[in-house]
Structure 1
């Protein structure tokens, strides 16, 4: 089944369908935007008394639902979908929830927007930002978008959080000890004032673009990590929340669903989410540090040793911070898997005008030629080849794009 590239459906149309549904099954792609969107829809359904189920899948196919409705989130499939192609799926879900007569959590919506590669207020998220600001739930400050402040003993330290963040790629990403060494000359106190936050942000901004491997795109990509919106949500900043959601969608989708559904996550859920995020982010950066990177016509390929959950994050990091080409591939030859990401997914990527290549369909085509399975959306995808040659799938993918 191919993925379409249609615009996001009108919120009132989908809301009308959901309002009359006796049961709703939500299936979302494995990314932070779709996870946030599914959470917003599920909370709205719960508020209106509509039974539902929600799950995450790398390649969502709408399930058959007897006397109910199936909704795909993050890809345009089936009769009812929030594809996330016209605007982030979380921004669209925010509008659908309002049409259902529910006031959705704007912080969750904004986290999804950042996870989609955009910034709060852009790409159709103005209503969510307005709602959050009117309620006094967000405040933009200098600094770096991390999920924790680093001042609480049981949380990851500031250096650990900086090393794990996938909103930036620096010389110390993936290495908490190196991050501590980088922060040491700043002499940052436990509680940061505005000047401290500016110095912290300047360090990250410079280091994201200063490496020999940094691409021209890195300067715009790192903007998502700077001048964050501090929030009263379960995490310190909207951007940090986004980073956690994106990691959970791949690393621990069950925890991700629980977090997206919880209006007030308890301490154990928050800790589980942070643990999965820290593990995921450090693994992604370490895999990239050890990668053999090669440039081809139209794409950059990073050959890595990484878990299937980490590969999509590595591909995104290469696309945003290392690749001079519009497409980035993370390839694990031993496991027979690859993940691919293309520009054009959000305003902060610096390539919003780049035509969508249709990576999901390209992956399906290439996988078919190599005897494997392919999946994805217009701007990202993956291939798994169990008994064949993943390098043959890569060659076919390069031809397809």
Structure 2
């Protein structure tokens, strides 16, 4: 079950990619990895190298695809963790725990002599939980701004110009009216949200202030909410992108990676799929906020547990960690799925693997419990069969977190 695969060294991976006859890109199911695969695919397209992009929901799925037979000249790049047994002479793994996958991809793209799309790269960085312009992303931000691809303005980071639509369905926010367009419209009735093209800086500023006040003033808001909402304010507008802001673009990529990876892949390759992408984003946001609204909760030392009947467990865990959890880690448990989200940038690989092992050995009515899992920056995901009680998952998480 070990995921201690071989990360790609830019020099060796570049030399192999330069001579590849065909490249398989196998991405982790999150916005950061989708963006990274798009950056690599576009670089390969510039070189006229044939490629295929797929998304693997779990480490097992990606490992099985990486082990699939290939022909001479084929190269496989896994964007995310894979079992060490999947490594081969022409299998490379982009999996760093200390930086977004989009930045790992940028290294390869530049080694290949291609010019990366800075907006797509920064959207991946944001989806991966980092701030645009921080650390080694500073040059990407400056490049995008110099080329007129990003413009800082007041307001809130949502993907649509229609602010009621954007604010109601965003998973980067949590207010008393989140998930409900009618309630969002009523909450914003005191500010101008009319013609999006007519909104000026003062209008955006008023909307940002209202959202911030409703976020931190919610009955269940935690101290972390103030810091989190701050990251969603004063967004970077993206005039040349199909989505209104950089943070909104990242939110859409996260939604597509989990619910419609085919559309997500086509989107980062440059296809015009704005409307179906937004449809998937709206549905995920609506379901996530509805699930959190009706969730049961429990608090333990260092762990906040959220139980839901239906909904995207990873989105619920991320929202709860950002706005509702009094503890630094959140475990969301649903029907046959569980997710972990943290506010701290700590590797979760060993923790998620340990929970998976515990579940596989759980005492159930079935002969055994089949468990698959995935890990990313500040998050983990588990999918399991068998008659596993929530208490077993909670106990395993408490022991390991």
Aligned to 1:373: 371
Aligned to 1:323: 325
User: Normalized against structure 1, the TM-score is what?
Assistant: 0.88
Cα distance in 2 between the residues matched to 1:174 and 1:362: 34
Once the two structures are TM-superposed, the CA of residue 49 in structure 1 deviates from its matched residue by 1.5
Cα distance in 1 between the residues matched to 2:49 and 2:192: 52
Change over 3 Å in CA distance of 1:216–1:63 after alignment to 2: farther
Cα distance in 1 between the residues matched to 2:347 and 2:107: 26
Change over 3 Å in CA distance of 1:390–1:26 after alignment to 2: farther
Contact 1:106–1:131 under 8 Å retained in 2: yes
Deviations 1:202-258 (A, max 9, x none): 112222222221122222222331111111111111111100000000111111111
Aligned to 1:393: 393
Contact 1:367–1:383 under 8 Å retained in 2: no
Deviations 1:63-117 (A, max 9, x none): 4333222111133654512214221111221232121111111110011111111
Change over 3 Å in CA distance of 1:368–1:97 after alignment to 2: same
User: Normalized against structure 2, the TM-score is what?
Assistant: 0.88
For residues 188-337 of structure 1, the aligned pairs below 5 Å read 188-190=193-195, 191-231=198-238, 232-262=240-270, 265-266=271-272, 269-307=273-311, 310-332=312-334, 335-337=335-337
Cα distance in 2 between the residues matched to 1:10 and 1:49: 23
Contact 2:348–2:375 under 8 Å retained in 1: no
Change over 3 Å in CA distance of 1:75–1:210 after alignment to 2: farther
Cα distance in 1 between the residues matched to 2:141 and 2:252: 20
Deviations 1:280-315 (A, max 9, x none): 1111011001111111122111111224xx111111
Aligned to 2:119: 107
Give the number of equivalent residue pairs: 377
Once the two structures are TM-superposed, the CA of residue 40 in structure 1 deviates from its matched residue by 0.6
Bigger Rg, which one: 2
Contact 1:366–1:374 under 8 Å retained in 2: no
Aligned to 2:75: 69
Aligned to 2:186: 181
Cα distance in 1 between the residues matched to 2:135 and 2:333: 31
Deviations 1:126-153 (A, max 9, x none): 2321221221111111111111111xxx
Once the two structures are TM-superposed, the CA of residue 367 in structure 1 deviates from its matched residue by 2.7
Once the two structures are TM-superposed, the CA of residue 10 in structure 1 deviates from its matched residue by 4.8
Gaps of 5+ in 2: 363-368
Aligned to 1:166: 171
Change over 3 Å in CA distance of 1:88–1:394 after alignment to 2: same
